[in-house]
Amino acid sequence: MKAKKSILRITKILFSTALAIVFALSIFGCVEKNIRRYADAKKLDFGVAVRPSDMLYPERAELLADHFNILVAENTMKMQYLRPNPTFWNWSDIDQLINFAEEHKMKIKGHTFIWHSQNSGFVSSLNTREDALKVLRETITETLTRYKGRIAEYDICNEIFEENGTLRDSVWMRTIGPEYVDIAFQTAREADPSVKLLLNDYNNEYAGTAKADAFYNLVKSMVERGIPIDGVGFQMHMIAKDPIKEAALIANIRRFNDLGLTVSFTEVDVRIQMPVTPEKEAEQEAAYKTLLRIAMEEPNVKSFILWGYTDLQSWIPATFGGYGSAHLFDDKFQPKPLYYTLMDMIKAK
């Protein structure tokens, strides 16, 4: 009788231990697939650019909410979509995006008002200073007032420099002149006192190049003149075979830190010249790892945002002929080994 009871007790203990192990493994397994938990814990803004359709397919929406904690609209907040004509405002896609983000406790990054590209026809054909100022002010004020307190950071102006460091020719430059940048930032600050205001560009990440230095000098002068600006964006559209120039990148990040400004990696992708080979993937992994390591090590780098998550709807092949496979998920929405490498880095930090 006694022997029977103790066998029963041992069996019970074994059974509950096994159950506990299975339970722990399932939670552990879940955590292991989810980069966002680690990013949240480390207070790293780890995000991605999305399209309206992403929120319409439940499996894509779930993937986004599982893996990222900040979202940016890949296109819908650009003039072309936001305000296709002077009287029509296309809020619905933006509302849907912001509601989705809030529901899943994600932040939103705004992108972008003042740019030379993807403008609506009426913006491209502005030809007086007065009309251009009116459109600039109305668009920024209307949008930031509508979403006051709900957008974490905003690329107020985008890609305003040429490679040689001069200000790019654009409708804003032609009609208003170089002070359009100051005016855009001042207008944004008046409309929303808490949103972080960024100046965003590409090929501005390495100190010592004409463009990066001109970009830095303008931002420094804005700070000195009291123009409201909180940070800068380095887009970081990189090529796998070009190793990241760490020293020049870090020097650049630190000089913005000295100005009291944050740096966001705003549009990260590392493209491969097709076809993909294991060697090229290794180069790509090295580039992503270096960027993420630097982002986590430099105290004023606040966000690491990917320009797309799946190769299926990548902007890369259409823009850079012959290149592809730039993202963390394949064209079937499955995480690549690269995804796990980056997750391990965030987890270990």
Question: What is the binding site for ligand XIL (CB under 6 A)?
Answer: 74-75, 158, 235, 267, 315
The catalytically annotated residue of 74, 153, 159, 205 is: 159
Judge whether 267 counts as a catalytic residue. Answer: yes
3-class DSSP state for residue 303?
strand
Q: Which is nearer to ligand XIL, 37 or 325 (CB)?
A: 325
CB of 111 to ligand XIL, least distance (A): 6
Is the CB of residue 157 less than 8 Å from the CB of residue 114? Answer: yes
Judge whether 103 counts as a catalytic residue. Answer: no
CB of 193 to ligand XIL, least distance (A): 25
Q: What CA–CA distance (Å, rounded) separates 136 from 144? A: 12
Residue type for 255, please?
Answer: R
The DSSP line for 202-235 is SS--STTSHHHHHHHHHHHHHHHTT----EEEE-
Q: Count of CB atoms within 10 A of residue 134's CB?
A: 13
Q: What CA–CA distance (Å, rounded) separates 334 from 348? A: 23
In the bound state, the residue with its beta carbon closest to ligand XIL is: 315
CB of 196 to ligand XIL, least distance (A): 17
CB of 158 to ligand XIL, least distance (A): 5
3-class DSSP state for residue 114?
strand
Please identify which residue in the block is written with the tokens 């619905």. 92
Query: For the chain, how big is the Rg over CA atoms in Å?
Result: 23
3-class DSSP state for residue 238?
strand
Which tokens hold the place of 319? Answer: 């823009």
> If you ran DSSP here, which 8-state letter would residue 150 be given?
T
CB of 312 to ligand XIL, least distance (A): 13
Which among 4, 22, 33 is positioned nearest to 342, based on CA atoms?
33
Query: Which strand (E) or helix (H) includes residue 157?
Result: strand 153-158
The catalytically annotated residue of 74, 153, 205, 267 is: 267
Please identify which residue in the block is written with the tokens 């200073």. 129
Q: Count of CB atoms within 10 A of residue 189's CB?
A: 19
CB of 308 to ligand XIL, least distance (A): 7
List active site positions. 159, 267
